[in-house]
């Protein structure tokens, strides 16, 4: 596929790039989408990963070894998630950037009281996920995510390239069209690192206090903020 742009000039309205690219790349492969985004934004693009698996990391690192991979370390992650982060850093040719909130867990509990995640999960997510990621994304013009349309109703409308008005940046979703079957096939074919919690009843993995095991046949996202009606942490909105 011919790339739409060789670079993103400062004077060019990024929304123009988004509209053209979203249409042109809708049927492109994930690798083609990643190649376009890296060719367009160069060093001003990064990957974000929850360390559920390393599929996106694998694809991006093959296109641009050394690419920045941002991981938001909330202080509440499962040990397995932190271990997956460490394994990704050791195995793949990427620069893992550990992003942390402005307050430690102890400082947050001191200032706002214990178990904020249970009393006000939206605020907890904002303080420990959204704000840190917003700060970490400041140097970049765009970022690459692993969200897929079939994951939640909110994500069904995700385009492979989007303008994120809240952050004033381009959001690239190369796996948007992928099904769970495609994802699992790529993992098996390429021997991709996977968070071991996925094999223990956690198909969707968030912070430990807010994530529970899911029974076979249940909605994979039902273990996140169970019983609260909450479905997103705010990072991908």
Q: Can you tell me the distance from the alpha carbon of 158 to that of 200, in angstroms, rounded to the nearest whole number?
A: 29
Output the six-digit token pair for 235. Answer: 């990072």
Q: Which distant-in-sequence residues (6+ apart) come within 8 Å of 153 by Cβ? A: 231
Q: Can you tell me the distance from the alpha carbon of 62 to that of 76, in angstroms, rounded to the nearest whole number?
A: 31
How are strands ordered across the β-sheet holding 45-48?
95-99, 68-72, 45-48, 142-144, 169-172, 161-164
The helix/strand/coil state of 124 is helix
Q: Which helix (DSSP H) or strand (DSSP E) does residue 35 occupy?
A: helix 30-41
Phi-psi region of 97 (alpha: psi -120 to 50; beta: other; left: phi over 0): beta
The answer to whether 155 and 148 have CB atoms below 8 angstroms apart is yes
Q: Active-site residues: which are they?
A: 233
Q: Residues 138-167, buried b or exposed e (16+ Cβ, 10 A)?
A: eebbbbbbbbbbebbeebeebbbbbbbeee
Output the six-digit token pair for 191. Answer: 């021997």
Q: Can you tell me the distance from the alpha carbon of 22 to that of 223, in angstroms, rounded to the nearest whole number?
A: 32
The answer to whether 97 and 71 have CB atoms below 8 angstroms apart is yes
């Amino acid at each position: 596929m011919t790339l739409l742009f060789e670079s993103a000039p400062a004077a060019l309205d990024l929304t123009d790039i988004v509209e053209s690219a979203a249409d042109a790349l809708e049927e492109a492969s994930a690798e083609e989408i990643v190649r376009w985004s890296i060719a367009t934004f160069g060093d001003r693009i990064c990957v974000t990963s929850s360390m559920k698996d390393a599929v996106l990391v694998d694809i991006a690192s093959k296109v641009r070894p050394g690419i920045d991979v941002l991981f938001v370390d909330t202080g509440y992650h499962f040990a397995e998630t932190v271990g997956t982060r460490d394994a990704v850093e050791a195995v793949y040719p990427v620069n893992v950037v550990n992003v942390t909130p402005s307050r430690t867990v102890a400082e947050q509990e001191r200032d706002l009281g214990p178990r904020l995640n249970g009393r006000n999960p939206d605020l907890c997510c904002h303080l420990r996920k959204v704000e840190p990621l917003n700060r970490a994304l400041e140097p970049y013009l765009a970022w690459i995510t692993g969200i897929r349309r079939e994951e939640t109703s909110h994500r069904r409308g995700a385009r492979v390239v989007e303008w994120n008005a809240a952050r004033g940046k381009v959001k690239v979703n190369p796996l948007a069209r992928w099904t769970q079957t495609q994802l699992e096939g790529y993992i098996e074919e390429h021997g991709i690192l996977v968070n071991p919690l996925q094999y223990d009843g956690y198909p969707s993995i968030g912070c430990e206090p807010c994530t529970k095991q899911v029974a076979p046949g249940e909605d994979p996202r039902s273990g996140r903020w169970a019983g609260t009606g909450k479905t997103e942490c705010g990072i991908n909105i």
